[in-house]
């Protein structure tokens, strides 16, 4: 049995099980297994959203999982928006299933929100890439899908100058922060700031830089998905130098590469948006970080 067939079997089991449970009102698929653009491949997981009147049951118990298949492990995580929680399950065969637990009241509020233009635009952005309805006992999802399908996905929003400058300042501030902790010899802490905090800010600037370059008409995927396809080639090429190993010298080089790439694309973005840029602060911080990296390390405290 292929991976795709294994997932379809699991979907059928879930639907058969859910239709006889009065507390489960609807089930739908989002993500790659529901969309035509960048559809699922053999490595894709299954993203299910379950609308229920008893959300806490599915978050606090695990016995019901055995009705779907043989689980290897399960855990609870916040959803991508952090508004709700989801149960992640890894079944035999390495079938990865994320079940977002959505209270029925919230699903109804989604439908009500979709009836005004602002709410519809927000939901279109979240669900516009595709949703596959599996179960809809109250026709809530059918109505919601019809509204979302009729709406255009909202155009990317330009940052205000204040929002732009805050990201720039955040990046420059934490560049100094990272350099100081590196001098202290805290490699783990330094690496987490470099490869996590600074790269998250870098992602935001890459999005703005790409959109500004293409007159705000580029299709940008959330959380950096498919970045290699939509970001500028020279940016993705430079990104290779901005991640570091657990090594002091490698971190130094990656930090300078990160600062250089961020400064370049942020300056270009500011120019295209006709925004100000803290050139003097950038220059002084770059010089300080270069000097700090060249000096002999201080002992660990």
Q: Of 44, 50, 43, 42, whose CA–CA distance to 68 is shortest?
A: 50
Average pLDDT, the chain: 91
Q: What is the residue-wise DSSP string for 94-105?
A: TEEEEEEEEEHH
Res 262 pLDDT > 90: yes
Q: Summarize the confidence of residues 44-70 as an average pLDDT.
A: 94
Task: Specify whether 47 is located in the same domain as 113.
Answer: yes
Query: Is residue 112 located within the same domain as residue 132?
Result: yes
**Count of all residues that appear for the chain in the document:** 301
Domain hosting residue 68, numbered range: 3-150
Per-residue pLDDT, 155: 77
**Shared-domain flag, residues 142 and 30:** yes
- Say which DSSP state 231 is in: S
- Rounded CA-CA distance 186/275 in Å is 36
Element (H, E) at 90: strand 85-91
Give per-residue pLDDT as tens, 278-290: 999 999 999 999 9
- 151, pLDDT greater than 80: no
When pLDDT is cut at 50, 70 and 90, the band that residue 82 belongs to is low
User: Strand 24-30 to strand 46-52: parallel, antiparallel, or no bridges (unpaired)?
Assistant: antiparallel
Average of pLDDT values for 8-37?
Answer: 93
pTM of the model: 0.83
Same domain, 122 and 242: no
Listed range (32-46, 121-135, 157-171, 194-208) with the worst mean pLDDT: 121-135
Tell me which residue of 151, 87, 125, 78 sits closest to 222, measured CA to CA: 125
How far is residue 47's CA from residue 114's CA, in Å, rounded to a whole number? 22
Domain boundary among 150, 185, 207: 150
Q: Are 69 and 57 in contact (CB under 8 A)?
A: no
Helix (H) or strand (E) holding 29: strand 24-30
Of 150, 181, 216, which residue sits at a domain end? 150
The answer on pLDDT for 297 being more than 60 is no
Sign of CA dihedral 6, 104, 125, 227: negative
Is the model's pLDDT at 298 over the cut of 60? no
Position 58 scores a pLDDT of 96
pLDDT at 228: 95
CATH of the domain at 248: 1.20.120.330
**Binning pLDDT at 50, 70 and 90, where does residue 214 land?**
very high
- At 80, which CATH number? 3.30.460.10
At 25, is the pLDDT very low, low, confident or very high (cuts 50, 70, 90)? very high
Distance CA 252, CA 255 (A): 5
Buried residues in 204-227 as b, exposed as e (16+ CB within 10 A): bbbbbbbbbbeebeeebeeebeeb
In a domain, 77, yes or no: yes
**Which residues are bridge partners to 47 per DSSP?**
30, 98
More confident call, 150 vs 297: 150
Contact 6, 69 (CB under 8 A): no
Alpha carbons 3 and 50: distance in angstroms, whole number? 23
Q: What is the reported pLDDT for 115?
A: 77
Asked whether the predicted pLDDT for residue 301 surpasses 70, the reply is no
The residues, any chain, with a CB within 8 Å of residue 254's CB and separated by 6 or more, are 194, 195, 241, 242, 243, 244
Contact between 127 and 30 under an 8 Å Cβ cutoff? The reply is yes
156 within a domain of the structure (yes/no): no
Please check the confidence at residue 295 and state whether its pLDDT lies above 90. Answer: no
Confirm if 204 and 219 have CB atoms less than 8 A apart: no
- Per the structure block, which two tokens stand in for 127? 């669900």
**Of 125, 150, 175, which residue is a domain's last?**
150
Same domain, 60 and 194: no
Residue 76 lies in a domain: yes
Instruction: Compute the distance between CA of residue 235 and CA of residue 206 in angstroms, rounded to an integer.
Output: 8
* pLDDT given at position 299: 55
Q: What is the DSSP letter of 153?
A: P
> In total, how many domains does the chain have?
2
User: Residue 262 burial by CB count (10 A; 0-12/13-18/19+): exposed, middle or buried?
Assistant: buried
pLDDT of residue 37: 86
Considering the domain architecture, whether residues 123 and 202 belong to the same structural domain is answered as no
Query: Which pLDDT band holds residue 180 (cuts at 50, 70, 90)?
Result: very high
Alpha carbon separation from 288 to 6, 195, 247 (Å, rounded): 56, 20, 21
Residues 145 and 16 in one domain: yes
When pLDDT is averaged across residues 260-288 and rounded to a whole number, the result is 97
Rounded Cα gap, residues 203 and 226, in angstroms = 12
Q: What is the pLDDT of residue 35?
A: 87
Residue 123, pLDDT > 80, answer no
pLDDT higher for 255 or 38? 255
């Amino acid at each position: 049995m292929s991976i795709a067939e294994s997932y379809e079997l699991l979907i059928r089991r879930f639907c058969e099980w859910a239709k006889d449970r009065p507390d489960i009102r609807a089930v739908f698929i989002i993500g790659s297994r529901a969309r035509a653009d960048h559809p699922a491949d053999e490595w894709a997981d299954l993203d299910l959203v379950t609308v229920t009147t008893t959300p806490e049951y599915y978050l606090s118990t695990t016995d019901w999982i055995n009705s779907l298949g043989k689980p290897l492990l399960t855990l609870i995580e916040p959803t991508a928006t952090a508004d709700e929680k989801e149960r992640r399950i890894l079944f035999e065969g390495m079938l990865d299933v994320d079940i977002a637990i959505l209270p029925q009241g919230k699903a109804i509020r989604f439908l009500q929100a979709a009836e005004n233009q602002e709410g519809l635009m927000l939901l279109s952005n979240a669900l516009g890439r595709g949703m596959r309805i599996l179960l809809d006992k109250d026709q809530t999802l059918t109505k919601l899908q019809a509204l979302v399908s009729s709406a255009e996905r909202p155009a990317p929003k330009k940052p205000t100058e204040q929002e732009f400058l805050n990201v720039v300042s955040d990046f420059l501030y934490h560049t100094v922060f990272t350099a100081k902790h590196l001098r202290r010899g805290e490699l783990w802490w330094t690496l987490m700031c470099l490869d996590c905090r600074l790269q998250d800010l870098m992602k935001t600037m890459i999005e703005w830089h790409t959109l500004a370059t293409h007159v705000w008409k580029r299709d940008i995927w959330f959380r950096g998905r498919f970045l290699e396809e939509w970001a500028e080639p020279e940016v993705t090429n430079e990104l290779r130098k901005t991640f570091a190993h657990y090594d002091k010298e490698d971190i130094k080089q990656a930090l300078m590469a990160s600062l250089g790439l961020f400064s370049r694309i942020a300056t270009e973005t500011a120019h295209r948006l006709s925004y100000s840029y803290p050139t003097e602060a950038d220059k002084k911080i770059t010089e300080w970080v270069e000097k700090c990296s060249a000096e002999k390390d201080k002992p660990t405290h």
